[in-house]
Structure 1
């Protein structure tokens, strides 16, 4: 993968800037969309024991965990960060989730895919999709966007190109669809908010990717600074709940042994998010599955601005 050059990382930024004509806002909305903002698109959920998500949580109390995608708006351009559960999740799950893992890793019906919600709202097909990592609940909707270029970190491309069934793998049913246009993201040795590697997608500091390895080899996060000046940090699955970041706590050990490629490195990534949150106290950390954080911010078609 090392033959992908610095020039190709800049190609993403240029392509994003040129994509406005392909993903325009709906003709009628309750209020004008922001110049820079985001909308959380919840595709589904599952209720699980609190202890699995929250340090020292109850084993008997159930709390919701979301399967969400994040629609990012930058001026006249739109991109999707993660895809949530897609239109074919039931078939994908039946094909690629091992039987032994189905009690622990599941989803509830109904599922409302991102593509269905965007189509209903009048959006033209999204042209750029970035996944935080290749796991089933983040990449399920990739086949729903055949028009799009799909981006993942260069380090994540190995698992995507060698997809296999498993509880914590990139699934062939999701990432190996013929015709899917995968492109590697090459983060640069440019520091951003304490992270050594970053990629400024629009060259204005408003939407910046950073390397967050551990959960997978090529996991990435995204900083988004919206119109109000407030900054949000989408951390994928580094932690499942913001409470775990505040406590500096790892995932429940049994779950972590299955889903985290490198447990020690994942915990280092948790500590790094915690350090950034301390340094920037107004920063809002948004884990991919944290229903409480997402409930407070609101859901599509509402915008965070």
Structure 2
């Protein structure tokens, strides 16, 4: 088979095949996709608008929430518009540069998402374990710096992926059985030696998730130890209630992300359409549910959202 390299100009495109085996149902699948995406945009933009408008919400916790919703808007927007073009119009082609760019930004958003969740855990630790020093330890400027560190970390860790991908030769088969350019799905199209790409992708996934989950676990271990020292059960509940939304978001985000990443690499016995659906679920569902979780579980935010909703 004739091979080409991503650095060459021919052929200039890949073909995203959507969800293999379910092509006849693409129109029906597009209904939950578009519905979830619209709900996600409405929820995330509402949270961002309310926090931006309300001076009383210009606090570290809500600034971190704004970072989270912007990342989720970016992550879902990287995936859904192209997927809907495939489902509705059959526009399956994507340029090589477009594919690599989509893959890069998706990975950066995922790494930043994890970094923000770690910072949120640190925010809860300081709020519960060092409440008197909270205002001095975590200022808005500090949150901005931590966000910048998370961005730099994400770019530095993810950048080798597209660079390594560009050295691979690709054979005549240019069809990617996916709705978007997920790293391992593109790597599988190569007819060259992909061991470095596969190993680096897996190591980065496990390092980011492993390191960040360890830091989150450490924060919550210290939080639980501090809460157990409080004699009042009412104070127990109040302290833990401030963490409920964050814990729900962590469980949903990391569970879906780990399951999708590991089944895509090691789940050879799982049908291809299940892989693809799981990969889309981990991008779409957390983006839709996270603003709802924070809106329901955080009274101050819920009250402000209610104020603007009833004003309309």
Settle same-fold status: TM greater than 0.5. no
Question: Normalising to structure 2: TM-score of the pair?
Answer: 0.25
Greater helix share, structure number: 2
Greater strand share, structure number: 1
Bigger relative CO (Cα 8 Å, ≥ 6 apart): 2
